[in-house]
Structure 1
């Protein structure tokens, strides 16, 4: 189940630069349905982390809330629509609304409204301290930083006021927020009474939140706001602390705050991404891939060297057989040989009549008992390159011995039409070769 941890530092604020461990927090832990599972008042970071450990919670989504007066709200009227151009023009669009050098201010871009883009401006040095305060918590990963007043639920009201001790948080339906001392609310009443637009309205609805004790203590102030004639104030009692209201409003999307974790404070490089548990497996897979690629490259080089050696050997043999051929190389030697063989097959056998007769006579001269072998007729076919001899011998063994001798000399010799008679055997010997 997904959990969100809302943490809000409480005054007096510690020295965030040298002693952030002593800072105390109010905190609320809610589950995915928005129900509060745990909460605390004025606890240290260590105590909150121990609570998460005791409940075996991991990767809790941490929402950090900084004081609303640390982040100035302003509008940026920029006609561009592409985010890259909007961010380039943003410093120039809000520079006149800020009381300090624009280079010392961190700007966070919000949604686009009727009057322009909503922008939160925070001093760079302060933003760096707040960012460090909420980073690297055990069992929790920072998801966003917001100005606390920007999480007030306005809903159907024009303004929302939340009493918080000596201070008050305010937010308007236009998305503005601010924080001031409770005693200054009376002077701010005229600003609250102004309609949010140019339209003429009879009343401005204001929702006042606070614990019952705070509402009771500030009844005179609330009555003074209502005496302005235009403000209609409705009171809403909180059970414990304002942080519960802010967490409920944010979880149920009753507000549109600006996440301050942008630009150089963006969370994409904080090492807490969803892939972090898989990093060892990814590293092993990458190492295996690199090894496999290395092996494949090595085998490729080895086989290429072997192929080059075989090509050199083949060309050495070919050059020995055809020393005058200078056009043939390793790339086409196979095609050249195949062409030569195909041409030889088309031209037929290369042994002529005289060659066949010479070879046949040599084998006859070497034949044992050749006196009993008689040649009756001899025929030669030039088109087929065949010499056909009708023979007669006292036995078939001598005919077969003559055929075997011709075959061993490299000729093709076959005996057909064999007839065994009382006086011996006769047959037809067909000779071809080359």
Structure 2
């Protein structure tokens, strides 16, 4: 592994940069006396740490996959949670956790520009910039805290944390523990500078305390770039014409994509609905065919077979009483009673078997009399009471 140089950026351009050198094994090493930051950076891999007070890390549910698509969706997913315009912010995408939530780091474009200027003024090109609290050591089932005289840093997860003034640590930590709820850690691991004091809220678990002589060395030794969210924009080194075009037309492009997706989705939905309707109609035809011609068995092509059977009935083939349709023509006037409902019909052996629903037996008997008066032979096969109506099954035949 190459020796590394860890540079701690500041939020104040008048404050000099702090930096530490690490050897190839990742252990702190003293820089040669009088060596400048630019000289130390020549033979080393340079990584920068951003002040955590200016970086928000959070998690957001993004259902789409693919890093580019996630990056496009994140600003709009977080827009309502941010006080600044998303166009003034830079969103760095982290890892997706076991719950499917995407880790995101948010920083203002203005802060990034200031940090770039600090590095340029120092003659340093950093491979990437990471929130400083994500360089704290991680401990199993614990949050890690580092406190010096003025500042406190808290790492709450693999890619989450925050920084605040040391005097406000108890307030911020209480809010974070309350928000975590059941996911709050059972322990805290706290690193204190030699002169720092620790104030914790009552809800905090008893901490494990360690004194450190060099807080920046703690960051430098434990920075793991594989699991920290890099903030360095891809556009650093000169924004391309395509990048500038995208920033100008991004909103219109997103709107156009949304319209295309919605239109395509609507077309597919219509196609699915039509296919489902066609299947339902085919099933209905098969049921009607089976009810009307039970002796025909299961139809292979129900529509064609129904048309063929109906054509045969119209011609009167194989029917002793003139066919189904003439018989239906005689039956229909007798059923013209709003108190009678035809619920089933089947044609067998030249006669009709019908099932009707009537308010009472008198109405059913009146139906039989009307049909008999039409010259039909009617036999009531069965009649049963069901709640407030009578279900009757009748056999109707034409004149022999």
Other-structure match for 2:140: 156
Shift of residue 188, structure 1, vs aligned partner: 3.1
CA distance in 1, matches of 2:141, 2:194: 20
**TM-score between the two structures when normalised by the length of structure 1:** 0.49
CA distance in 1, matches of 2:143, 2:223: 17
Other-structure match for 1:49: 38
Q: Deviations over 1:138-192 (max 9, x none)?
A: 5x54111111112112321431111122221111025321111222222234335
CA distance in 2, matches of 1:170, 1:266: 32
Which among 134, 157, 160 is matched to residue 119 of structure 2? 134
Other-structure match for 1:397: none
Shift of residue 262, structure 1, vs aligned partner: 2.9
Other-structure match for 1:6: 6
Which among 235, 238, 247 is matched to residue 209 of structure 2? 235
Instruction: Decide whether aligned partners of structure 1 residues 267 and 72 sit closer, same or farther in structure 2, where only a CA change above 3 A counts.
Output: farther
**TM-score between the two structures when normalised by the length of structure 2:** 0.53
Which among 206, 213, 236 is matched to residue 265 of structure 1? 236
Paired residues of 1:106 and 1:122 also in contact (CA < 8 A): yes
Number of paired residues?
Answer: 239
Instruction: Decide whether aligned partners of structure 1 residues 96 and 265 sit closer, same or farther in structure 2, where only a CA change above 3 A counts.
Output: farther
Other-structure match for 1:123: 108
Q: Deviations over 1:53-81 (max 9, x none)?
A: xxxx7342111112101111122211111
Q: Deviations over 1:364-388 (max 9, x none)?
A: xxxxxxxxxxxxxxxxxxxxxxxxx
Instruction: Decide whether aligned partners of structure 1 residues 260 and 69 sit closer, same or farther in structure 2, where only a CA change above 3 A counts.
Output: same
Paired residues of 1:64 and 1:134 also in contact (CA < 8 A): no
Aligned residue for 2:137, secondary structure, equals coil
CA distance in 2, matches of 1:239, 1:40: 20
Shift of residue 127, structure 1, vs aligned partner: 1.0
Aligned residue for 2:159, secondary structure, equals coil
Shift of residue 115, structure 1, vs aligned partner: 5.2
Shift of residue 135, structure 1, vs aligned partner: 4.2
Determine if the alignment matches structure 1 residue 207 to structure 2 residue 189.
Answer: yes
Paired residues of 1:160 and 1:207 also in contact (CA < 8 A): yes
TM superposition outliers: structure 1 runs of 4+ over 6 Å: 266-269
Aligned residue for 2:195, secondary structure, equals helix
Q: 5+ unaligned residues in a row in structure 1: which ranges?
A: 15-21, 270-434
CA distance in 2, matches of 1:63, 1:25: 13
CA distance in 2, matches of 1:40, 1:68: 29
RMSD: 3.1
Determine if the alignment matches structure 1 residue 177 to structure 2 residue 169.
Answer: no
Other-structure match for 1:299: none
Which among 209, 215, 219 is matched to residue 246 of structure 1? 219
CA distance in 1, matches of 2:211, 2:32: 19
Determine if the alignment matches structure 1 residue 26 to structure 2 residue 8.
Answer: no
Pair member with larger Rg: 1
CA distance in 2, matches of 1:73, 1:180: 14
Q: What are the residue-to-residue correspondences of 1:388-403 with 2, within 5 Å?
A: none
CA distance in 2, matches of 1:74, 1:193: 15
Instruction: Decide whether aligned partners of structure 1 residues 234 and 115 sit closer, same or farther in structure 2, where only a CA change above 3 A counts.
Output: farther
Paired residues of 1:195 and 1:204 also in contact (CA < 8 A): no
Determine if the alignment matches structure 1 residue 83 to structure 2 residue 67.
Answer: yes
Aligned residue for 1:87, secondary structure, equals helix
Which among 95, 102, 106 is matched to residue 79 of structure 2? 95
CA distance in 2, matches of 1:64, 1:189: 26
Q: Deviations over 1:286-326 (max 9, x none)?
A: xxxxxxxxxxxxxxxxxxxxxxxxxxxxxxxxxxxxxxxxx
Shift of residue 108, structure 1, vs aligned partner: 0.7
Paired residues of 2:8 and 2:19 also in contact (CA < 8 A): yes
Instruction: Decide whether aligned partners of structure 1 residues 89 and 171 sit closer, same or farther in structure 2, where only a CA change above 3 A counts.
Output: same
CA distance in 2, matches of 1:266, 1:178: 29
Other-structure match for 2:244: none
Paired residues of 1:77 and 1:117 also in contact (CA < 8 A): yes
CA distance in 2, matches of 1:40, 1:121: 36
CA distance in 2, matches of 1:49, 1:185: 35
Paired residues of 1:74 and 1:97 also in contact (CA < 8 A): no
CA distance in 1, matches of 2:120, 2:45: 11
